[in-house]
Structure 1
Amino acid sequence: MFDLLWRGAVIGVGGTILMDIWAFALARMPGESMPNWAPVGRWFFHLRRGTVFHPSIGAAEPYERELALGWICHYLVGILYGMILVLIMGAAWLARPTFLPAWIFAIVTIAAGWFLLQPGLGIGWAASKTPNPTKVRALGLVAHTFFGIGLYATAVLLRST
């Protein structure tokens, strides 16, 4: 069991790193910006007080280390997802990873963003209160595709160790 969990954690980190590489590459495009994990850090900070949904996370009480907390939670969620994927797929998948389960799982995980995090930040279900929800949703699907590629690629790298 421990072997599955540590491999899942590493796979989750790998997936998250590739997702971030994509985000940084995208930010170099005209009209795009660097990822800002501070609002996510503020959201996680307020969870301890029992507040899940905010009208606007920007209006919520700031937290001094919210950017660092946002990055940490971003990676912790990636680690958790990697562990869940490995526990679902099992040792046989780790011995012979295939792309499709990693990609499907990564796409499914966007539901947490669309139906928990985004409404929690005050931007609506699946970013419905943003100026261009379709763009936000499409970019989310692309980002989670990169997460899936990273999950798979890391599993392949771990297989050979």
Structure 2
Amino acid sequence: MNEVLGTGVVMGLLATVLMDLWAVVLNRAAGQPLPNWGLVGRWVATLPLGQVFHDDIGAVAPVTGERMIGWGFHYAVGVIYGIVLAGIMGATWLAAPTFMPAWIFSLLMIGFGWFLLQPGLGVGWAASKTPQPWKARGLGLAAHTVFGVGLWMGALL
């Protein structure tokens, strides 16, 4: 069990780092804005107040340390995803990991972003209130594909 947990942590950390590097590549190559983890931190900080969904998280008063809260949340979620996948797949898969389960899992996990985080931030279900919803969805799927590669690579380690 400790091996599955430890490998899951490595998988989640590596996958999250690769996802962040992907964001930097898109930023430098195509001018795509970097994720604003401060707004995510602001959203996380409002959860204990009973506020899950916002019309516009940017209109909510800033929270001390929101950027660090957002980054911490981002990495915690990545590690949790890694642990969950390792737990689901078990020691047999971890001994000889294949890409497809990691990719499918990472694509399924985008549902939390589309149907919890994005409406929580005020950008609608699956980015429906953004200027280009299908672009946002496509970028999310690409980022989660990179995350899936990271999960798989972490399992290979």
Give TM class, smaller chain: over 0.9
> CA-to-partner distance for each residue in 1:68-105, whole Å, 9 max, x for gaps?
11011000000000000011000001100000000000
> Alignment partner of 1:42: what SS?
helix
TM-score of the pair, normalised by structure 2? 0.97
Equivalent in the alignment of 1:33: 33
Find out whether 1:71 has 2:71 as its counterpart.
yes
Find out whether 1:97 has 2:65 as its counterpart.
no
1: distance between equivalents of 2:31 and 2:97? 37
1: distance between equivalents of 2:137 and 2:50? 27
2: distance between equivalents of 1:11 and 1:78? 8
Contact 2:7 / 2:154 at 8 angstroms: preserved in 1?
Answer: no
Contact 2:19 / 2:143 at 8 angstroms: preserved in 1?
Answer: yes
Show structure 1 runs of 4+ deviating over 6 A.
none
TM-score of the pair, normalised by structure 1? 0.95
Q: CA deviation at 1:61?
A: 2.1
1: distance between equivalents of 2:69 and 2:55? 21
1: distance between equivalents of 2:36 and 2:57? 13
Q: Which runs of 5+ in 2 are unaligned?
A: none
The correspondence of residues 18-29 of structure 1 with structure 2, limited to 5 A, is 18-29=18-29
Q: How many residue pairs were aligned? A: 157
Equivalent in the alignment of 2:4: 4
More displaced, 73-82 or 24-33?
A: 24-33
2: distance between equivalents of 1:63 and 1:25? 29
Letter of the aligned partner of 1:138 in structure 2? G
1: distance between equivalents of 2:107 and 2:47? 25
Contact 1:24 / 1:35 at 8 angstroms: preserved in 2?
Answer: no
CA RMSD, Structure 1 to Structure 2 (Å) = 0.9
Equivalent in the alignment of 1:16: 16
Equivalent in the alignment of 1:131: 131
Q: CA deviation at 1:2?
A: 2.1
Letter of the aligned partner of 2:54 in structure 1? H
Find out whether 1:83 has 2:83 as its counterpart.
yes
Q: CA deviation at 1:54?
A: 0.6
Equivalent in the alignment of 1:47: 47
> CA-to-partner distance for each residue in 1:22-63, whole Å, 9 max, x for gaps?
011000134412222111000001011111001110111210
